[in-house]
Structure 1
């Protein structure tokens, strides 16, 4: 019979629901934690590193051929004759570009102080005015603060703006700021889109140059929530209204070696030396209808404009070029706002948590690695293909947390299994140790059932053992009921087990019932009771060599902590099988041992009987000495092994008399000294007889030394005090008492009171005084017990005799 199917299905569904709720709760908690980290910018620095990796993998966005860069290189400065460059040379560049048809000229050069020659400032200002398409930079020397307190709508308030010389400012139409916002790692990844100062809005210089290039009036620039709309172009801004920079890599994006090429290369941006443009060496068509960006590209100059970016350190000129390239191509860095990203992270956390929670460690590792890899590849693909930044770190962090928690759960489960197995192994070892201490087969059933009841708490436990050689006949040999549970439960349980045990013996398969009433409904006609108290049953056969030698039954399993009724599990069945496997073999071994022991003891008794038969007056003497000795040993709480050795020693204590002549043993007169010496040899003769049998080694001390005296005046070795073996000291008292209270060939039995007084008197001289006290305790306990050796001594005709020696003679 198996667990009731409906009940099992309900339990499984319930456990599944609980597991799902637990996994969902953990996933939600992790999602909330990651969302908090994300919104409090805890992960931003690591995320920025992954963004840099994506820039380096992509290298360049689409490069627009309408952007041309003119760089003031070291070679230019050497050719011109030093730095700063005379203003008239800037004028020549502007004039040459104007003649070539450049649509927008943007200077990443700051003219805040007069030049060396005043007339050159006038010349440059005139060139600016003539060109009418010049954009110059402004900047705030203060740190740009993007906090809400420093904002006016979509604009960031700047307390100070440094501009070019008024002469130049009056000569141009466009000026824009060149400020950038470094992140915590010092790298520049975004610029503020609008700075506000003294009722004036300053756009980025690159944006002003783009407006000039496209001929767009500023009235066509509209602002949305975190975006700027210019005609059909939407420029996405972040939550601080800053523009993420869509960098190109100057090393691969810019064509520095181009002078001999007749046409533009569509996959590079043209770069020309400032001095070449001054000398008018560049064909005019290379600048026609282009947006031209001019700035420093030489290290070590005063106020050298260098920035730390995803491509390490680059010139600010290339940063402005990256921005202009983005406007020209309408390609910007896109990123979900934090609300959408938070929602994605939260949902993903729940999905990944529920997805891997039921997997084993290997699959969890594989799936987590696969998901993290696929998600990272997706993020890289979206960036390369669509310039879209998908948050990587929060998702990877969520995967890692779920993996870690899943790993911890697996480790906890494994640790719990190890602890449980260790506990079960401890129980099994404890059972084995207890079983090894059993000397009487009658103790085995009670010990087995006690072990099981301790290992698997339940309201009741029954043990059935086969009767004789009838394998199908099982008799109840042990039972334990929890307090207050026996009444009412016992009758139901015995009837149910009696009904099931035949099936169990035949099939030799365990029976697990967690809903007894439902499980045996079909057979209810065979059960007279209502089964109101029985809820669950676990019955397991004890099988040895394919033979059922016993059955154990546990009823109504209890939770070890709460004490509430719970169901039996497969783990319970496994543990019980392990215990019974050991117990069954031990039981069989002890049955065999007891059969051999009984045969052995019967053989010994036959031998002793033959000794006692030599003298009718000593008949039964060994049995009585044995009985008294066992009483004393039990009172002393000797171990089963010690009691067994004591019993056999007492039985065989006079075995040496086999080698003594019957004329001496049966003499009716007092023994002569020579005869007494012969009698005194019987302990040694007993040793000689027994030492050839290995099984008798442990009992020889009791046989050889039972005539030693506590004061050292005994024989054969004159041992004294505690040097005399314990079994010998016990047998000495029992032997003397029975000798005095029994008839002998040379005298009648002595009065019991006289014998007791003699033993008391000789305590400390002939007998161990401690053992004498135990003897008297046994006497008081058993003197009125019928057929005990003390009862036997009282129920013979009482006759007294006076003993004149200072000790009792018990040599016979």
Structure 2
């Protein structure tokens, strides 16, 4: 092997190691799929990549949520039949298939789109995990290219890593779904405990998540806010039921009992591994931006951002919901009140995001 070939080979190995490490760096399914399609093009220096998963019930290949290098029009193409397709040979043989010109191959299902997108050559490899084919990984070049055996080998190795990453991410997604369902049940129990607040937790979740997304928060923060919203009032189970359900105005002593619920809720969360990370968001969702809230009188940026978002969502939901001692506020009045207390009770940045999304709320 001459010096130039050695350098190229080392570059390939280095690129492969980097992208493989990147693909396995997250367990969020959408992020994994996005990294796979983007990284596959790096590995074999191609222009576009798609992932398709086998739908055994319909004998079709469903397009994954992530596509790299192609327009949204491709995603709208939907599933393709496996029978008599290039993928059929890839899946049955568990081996790569290279096509020099997709426009001249009758097995290719979207020739019109390929022509429009200037797609020429295709290399398709199986996604295999635990000896089961999950689907196919396709890379395209926009010029005619004879994919080499080395290209096939490198992409097959990458696809093996990708398939494992996908299976791990799917397992995590199942656990997250089970976790979320548990939190929904806990939230529903709390809402049932206080019969004045039917579906309160669910609505707070919807509002808080919309605000957080408008603020472009990272995926992990979005999940924490979503999860905390469902159980932000879980501490009410530690308050006397007669106080929770009292239709009249509370006495000073009863109010002192009520305002303990964020602290009680945080203590409950601290005792459960599953929801411990949510404890600060639960504890501080009744703090005020001016420092006059409870339980700790935190001020402005010292209040966790998730709690500041929950404060706006919680207040808006409470104002627009019917209560035994008052009628529900109109949407317009509730918005006016939120704006009025921006910088006083609420974080102005959160209020700004709220105002941008409030029209989406029912």
Give the TM-score range, shorter chain: 0.7 to 0.9
1:506 aligns with 2:92: yes
TM-score (norm 2): 0.86
Residue 528 and residue 609 in structure 1: after superposition, are their counterparts in 2 closer, same or farther (change >3 A)?
closer
Q: Distance in 2 between matches of 1:704 and 1:597?
A: 23
Q: Which residue of 2 aligns with 1:416?
A: 8
**1:483-632 matches, cutoff 5 A:** 499-514=85-100, 536-555=121-140, 557-558=141-142, 564-632=143-211
Q: Distance in 1 between matches of 2:40 and 2:266?
A: 44
Q: Distance in 1 between matches of 2:35 and 2:332?
A: 42
1:697 aligns with 2:284: no
Q: Distance in 1 between matches of 2:8 and 2:108?
A: 41
- Which deviates more, 442-451 or 715-724? 442-451
Residue 726 and residue 481 in structure 1: after superposition, are their counterparts in 2 closer, same or farther (change >3 A)?
closer
- Over residues 303-336 of structure 1, what are the superposed CA-to-partner deviations in whole Å (9 max), with x where a residue is unaligned? xxxxxxxxxxxxxxxxxxxxxxxxxxxxxxxxxx
Residue 528 and residue 628 in structure 1: after superposition, are their counterparts in 2 closer, same or farther (change >3 A)?
closer
TM-score (norm 1): 0.40
Is the Cα–Cα contact under 8 Å of residues 730 and 771 in structure 1 kept in the other structure?
yes
Q: Distance in 2 between matches of 1:529 and 1:777?
A: 40
Question: Following TM superposition, by how much is the alpha carbon of 1:445 offset from its aligned partner in structure 2, in angstroms?
Answer: 3.7
Q: Which structure has the highest helix share of the two?
A: 2
Is the Cα–Cα contact under 8 Å of residues 54 and 60 in structure 2 kept in the other structure?
yes
Is the Cα–Cα contact under 8 Å of residues 60 and 81 in structure 2 kept in the other structure?
no
In structure 2, the residue corresponding to 1:548 is in which secondary structure? strand
Is the Cα–Cα contact under 8 Å of residues 190 and 237 in structure 2 kept in the other structure?
yes
In structure 2, the residue corresponding to 1:707 is in which secondary structure? coil
Residue 572 and residue 497 in structure 1: after superposition, are their counterparts in 2 closer, same or farther (change >3 A)?
farther
Question: Following TM superposition, by how much is the alpha carbon of 1:517 offset from its aligned partner in structure 2, in angstroms?
Answer: 8.3
**1:767-786 matches, cutoff 5 A:** 767-779=346-358, 783=359, 785=360
Residue 597 and residue 498 in structure 1: after superposition, are their counterparts in 2 closer, same or farther (change >3 A)?
farther
Is the Cα–Cα contact under 8 Å of residues 23 and 165 in structure 2 kept in the other structure?
no
Q: Which residue of 2 aligns with 1:30?
A: none
Q: Which residue of 2 aligns with 1:329?
A: none
Q: Which residue of 2 aligns with 1:98?
A: none
Q: Distance in 2 between matches of 1:461 and 1:498?
A: 21
Question: Following TM superposition, by how much is the alpha carbon of 1:425 offset from its aligned partner in structure 2, in angstroms?
Answer: 2.6
Question: Following TM superposition, by how much is the alpha carbon of 1:500 offset from its aligned partner in structure 2, in angstroms?
Answer: 3.1
1:431 aligns with 2:23: yes
1:475 aligns with 2:67: no
Q: Distance in 2 between matches of 1:610 and 1:769?
A: 32
In structure 1, the residue corresponding to 2:306 is in which secondary structure? helix
**1:228-627 matches, cutoff 5 A:** 410-433=2-25, 436=26, 439=28, 441-442=29-30, 444-458=32-46, 460-467=48-55, 473-478=60-65, 480=67, 499-514=85-100, 536-555=121-140, 557-558=141-142, 564-627=143-206
Question: Following TM superposition, by how much is the alpha carbon of 1:670 offset from its aligned partner in structure 2, in angstroms?
Answer: 0.5
Question: Following TM superposition, by how much is the alpha carbon of 1:718 offset from its aligned partner in structure 2, in angstroms?
Answer: 1.2
Residue 575 and residue 611 in structure 1: after superposition, are their counterparts in 2 closer, same or farther (change >3 A)?
same
Q: Count matched residues.
A: 355
**1:642-721 matches, cutoff 5 A:** 642-721=221-300
1:763 aligns with 2:342: yes
Q: Distance in 2 between matches of 1:530 and 1:736?
A: 54
Q: Distance in 1 between matches of 2:85 and 2:110?
A: 12
In structure 1, the residue corresponding to 2:323 is in which secondary structure? coil
In structure 1, the residue corresponding to 2:49 is in which secondary structure? strand
- Over residues 489-541 of structure 1, what are the superposed CA-to-partner deviations in whole Å (9 max), with x where a residue is unaligned? x99x96798623333323322222336689x7xxx6x8899999675331111
Q: Which residue of 2 aligns with 1:635?
A: 214
Is the Cα–Cα contact under 8 Å of residues 51 and 66 in structure 2 kept in the other structure?
yes
Q: Which residue of 1 aligns with 2:308?
A: 729
In structure 1, the residue corresponding to 2:248 is in which secondary structure? coil
Query: Gaps spanning 5+ residues in structure 1: where?
Result: 1-359, 361-409, 559-563, 792-812
In structure 2, the residue corresponding to 1:416 is in which secondary structure? helix
Query: Gaps spanning 5+ residues in structure 2: where?
Result: none
Is the Cα–Cα contact under 8 Å of residues 52 and 64 in structure 2 kept in the other structure?
yes
Q: Distance in 2 between matches of 1:735 and 1:529?
A: 49
Is the Cα–Cα contact under 8 Å of residues 629 and 647 in structure 1 kept in the other structure?
yes
Q: Distance in 2 between matches of 1:529 and 1:715?
A: 61
- Over residues 451-479 of structure 1, what are the superposed CA-to-partner deviations in whole Å (9 max), with x where a residue is unaligned? 32454454653321133x76965322257
Among 746, 756, 763, the alignment partner of 2:325 is 746
Question: Following TM superposition, by how much is the alpha carbon of 1:752 offset from its aligned partner in structure 2, in angstroms?
Answer: 2.2
Aligned CA RMSD, in angstroms, stands at: 3.1
Residue 432 and residue 704 in structure 1: after superposition, are their counterparts in 2 closer, same or farther (change >3 A)?
same
In structure 2, the residue corresponding to 1:618 is in which secondary structure? coil
Q: Distance in 2 between matches of 1:517 and 1:737?
A: 56
Question: Following TM superposition, by how much is the alpha carbon of 1:658 offset from its aligned partner in structure 2, in angstroms?
Answer: 1.5
Larger Rg: 1
Q: Distance in 1 between matches of 2:70 and 2:186?
A: 49
Is the Cα–Cα contact under 8 Å of residues 61 and 82 in structure 2 kept in the other structure?
no
- Over residues 531-572 of structure 1, what are the superposed CA-to-partner deviations in whole Å (9 max), with x where a residue is unaligned? 9967533111111111111211224x34xxxxx422112232
Residue 536 and residue 752 in structure 1: after superposition, are their counterparts in 2 closer, same or farther (change >3 A)?
closer
Is the Cα–Cα contact under 8 Å of residues 666 and 745 in structure 1 kept in the other structure?
no
